[in-house]
Structure 1
Amino acid sequence: MINVTHRRLLLAILFISINLIILPSRITKSGFEAGSSSGSDGGDSLAFAANTIRAGRGAPWTDSYEPRQTKVRNVRVSFRLHDVENEPRPDKFLSVDSFFCRQNRTDLPAVLQTNGNGRLFDFTTTVSTDLRLVFMGDSLGHQFCQGFEAAVLGRGHEHKRTVHKKYNVGRKVFDCLVSSAPVRGGGAVAFWRYTKMLQRKTWAKITPCYSNERLWGENFLMEILDHKFADEPEGREITVNQFDAAIVRIPHGWMTAEEITKERLVEVVTFAQNLLGVRVVVFTTVGLDNNAIGAEEWAGIEKINEYVHEIASNFKPTSVDGVQWIMVQEWSRFTSAILRENGLSMGYNTSSNDFFFERLVGGETSWAQSVPMVCANRPKDNLHSECRRNKISPDGIHWCVETLGPRFTASIACLLGCVYNERPPDRTTHRGVSRLKKCEHDCNEQFMSLNRISDKYIGNGLTLHSTSSSAI
């Protein structure tokens, strides 16, 4: 632990020194296009409200994987949207068959399909970043990290992904610990699997990789911090050492709602700060899963998400070199909106959430799958055999990364840009906090909602990035 703390202190001093010397320049509006905002049936909807999300050609995008490169206009994370035929769907690293939604799937209902007002899902995302990111969570965090890795490791760069630890359940391969570096833009991405939120008191020197851990191992921590990758042009070796941000999936599938308290969530932030060195924590809100079998369980999920919002809203940094921002990715709102539209197309009464809890019977899984989550039709007597599988969820636990992954990835890149792009927001001022919150809101409104994206922003070589520097 001492080595990690010492390493963090040195890097924190270096980080502050660099930022004092090299003040980031501001992107001008020249050459960038702006669109209007609307709902799922509206017009051009890439919401450039207050210019928090910007689009332009060429820079600040870079296809280089060199770790040491100057970021154009201090944009540290940017992304592009593509036609599916030009950039494959993000499934090349998916390692579990139940993560896939490739074959024998019924199309989404018409309201969720592409129309003249834009697209919801018929695109893919690529990302360029020099940030060092760690995704933490269970198999849902696993599958969407794999989707993000596909977005930062282009063709010919797949070998830069290292699986440190994994376990098998039959033919299914679950990653416990993964490092991808360098990624497009020069950064790094790691995945750390856990099924219980990490606590200091559950530390062990060494733990194995298996499905349901009770302790977390220092060997896991040190492996991703000590991961080395090559600076190919200079022939030097670089060590990850610490991360800029943690993207946290709360493992509700392995913990009861009663176990996931506000105190446990705050401890996750402390853990990420003290041991991983992050300055940003992004919590993904919990959506419907196999454990929410009724209104009472769903109320427990909503309570967890309330805790997340309260923690993010009331957070105050404990040190200048620790976590500065807690952000929220509105995953629950997004997936609930999808299920509501799907349920409506199936003929359910969607005025309440009761239809969420319609469950298949006679299925092959040990859990009862939500009908609107996995079916494209309303099956007779809710029989598993009568369900036509949709492109939303493969099994009532996981989500179709091929469908939802590009929006997940774009939203994460957008949220991180609110902190790290251009001139970072000032945490000590009301104006800085307000600008960050406005940027966070715009990212969620665009990518974690059913707001459509105009065709002109997809497949046209446009680079998108977010910024809090001019948010109102």
Structure 2
Amino acid sequence: MIRLVISKKINTKSQITLFQAAWIDDFHKAISLDAIDETIQLSFDYLGAETVIIQTIPIMNNARNISQLITVNERIWNYTTTYQNQAYSSNYSSTNKVRPKILVMDLFAFSVSLFLQNSMEIGLIPVASGEVLKKELGQSDDIWTYLNVTMALNDAFNHIYKTGRDIFYNVPYYIKTGHICGDSKCKKFSFISQDGMHYCMEKIGGRITAVLACLLQCSTKSDESKIVFRLCEK
């Protein structure tokens, strides 16, 4: 199984899984379909979970460009969509008494909203074009369209700022301006992250917790259809 996977059991039936992409070399390759499947099956078969909530990979310093994030998150969505289609087809059969469920917690979409808004605030992205992009993202009617639209952020995503040298590897340390900087000269931190890896949970943790609560509630619905789950994920 892929290293650096956090799987936290929320209760006796549900588990949340996050791939620690921020510390995995070439994470967009390492988090393969096989790695995702092995992690999910481990949750069901050995940890006894009935529902797995898998998080998409948010914006972070370890991504060289936004296409790496799009690649890995498209893979996560493809896996879960295929699983749901099979699990709720008329041909589905299983020895389990309860049909296992997978829900997606889209941290990537949340991080895109934060990155875009902050980039507009500090002048990295012009307000007019930023508002157009926000509208396009909001009107994306499926996840694959949404992921394609996020490519428009690539130039801003590649705008970096040197902060010094890495204390472990003694190499120049760069941060993504729109993610970490709170002003155009990066004299203060943004409300999103201070190191590009860890998010400022005292600022945005409430929103993440609320989303998780909604997904958990959805997992207990008696109307177990992939349509219901997809609406919850939105």
Same fold (TM over 0.5): yes
Q: Which amino acid aligns with 1:338?
A: L
User: Could you tell me which of 91, 104, 112 is aligned with 1:336?
Assistant: 112
What is residue 290 of structure 1 aligned with on the other side?
A: 61
SS at match of 1:281: strand
Report matched runs for 1:188-207 at 5 Å: 195-197=3-5
For the structure 1 residues 310 and 402, does the alpha-carbon distance in structure 2 shift closer, same or farther, using more than 3 Å as the test? same
Give structure 2 stretches of 5+ with no counterpart: 88-93, 131-151, 168-172
What is residue 188 of structure 2 aligned with on the other side?
A: 388
CA contact 2:163–2:175 (8 Å) conserved in 1: no
Aligned-residue offset at 1:323: 5.8
CA contact 2:118–2:190 (8 Å) conserved in 1: no
What is residue 370 of structure 1 aligned with on the other side?
A: 176
Q: Which amino acid aligns with 2:160?
A: R
User: Could you tell me which of 242, 246, 258 is aligned with 2:15?
Assistant: 246
Distance 2:210 2:161 in 1: 32
SS at match of 1:402: helix
Residue deviations 1:300-344, cap 9 Å, x none? Answer: 221111111111111134443466211111110111111111111
Residue deviations 1:210-261, cap 9 Å, x none? Answer: xxxxxxxxxxx9xx99xxxxxxxxxxxxxx9x83111111111222221110
* TM score, norm. by length of structure 2: 0.73
Q: Which amino acid aligns with 1:299?
A: S
What is residue 305 of structure 1 aligned with on the other side?
A: 73
Q: Which amino acid aligns with 1:344?
A: M
CA contact 1:197–1:251 (8 Å) conserved in 2: yes
Residue deviations 1:428-461, cap 9 Å, x none? Answer: xxxx3322322332xxxxxxxxxxxxxxxxxxxx
Distance 1:264 1:323 in 2: 22
Distance 2:4 2:192 in 1: 26
CA contact 2:22–2:61 (8 Å) conserved in 1: yes
Give structure 1 stretches of 5+ with no counterpart: 1-193, 199-220, 226-239, 380-385, 427-431, 442-472
CA contact 2:13–2:50 (8 Å) conserved in 1: yes
Q: Which amino acid aligns with 2:122?
A: M
CA contact 1:342–1:376 (8 Å) conserved in 2: yes
User: Could you tell me which of 436, 439, 450 is aligned with 2:232?
Assistant: 439
SS at match of 1:368: strand
Aligned-residue offset at 1:388: 1.3
What is residue 154 of structure 2 aligned with on the other side?
A: 353
Distance 2:226 2:29 in 1: 31
Distance 1:344 1:395 in 2: 20
For the structure 1 residues 323 and 369, does the alpha-carbon distance in structure 2 shift closer, same or farther, using more than 3 Å as the test? farther
What is residue 259 of structure 1 aligned with on the other side?
A: 30
Report matched runs for 1:204-283 at 5 Å: 243-255=12-24, 256=26, 257-283=28-54
SS at match of 1:247: strand
Report matched runs for 1:400-415 at 5 Å: 400-415=200-215
Distance 2:99 2:157 in 1: 36
SS at match of 1:360: strand
Residue deviations 1:336-375, cap 9 Å, x none? Answer: 1111111112112355321122222142545421111111
Which structure has the bigger radius of gyration?
Answer: 1
Aligned-residue offset at 1:275: 1.1
Number of residues paired by the alignment? 193
CA contact 1:243–1:276 (8 Å) conserved in 2: no
SS at match of 1:439: helix
Percent same amino acid at aligned positions?
Answer: 21
SS at match of 2:178: helix
User: Could you tell me which of 178, 181, 197 is aligned with 1:397?
Assistant: 197
What is residue 425 of structure 1 aligned with on the other side?
A: 223
The structure where helix makes up a greater share of residues is: 2
Q: Which amino acid aligns with 1:397?
A: M
2:114 aligned with 1:314, yes or no?
Answer: no
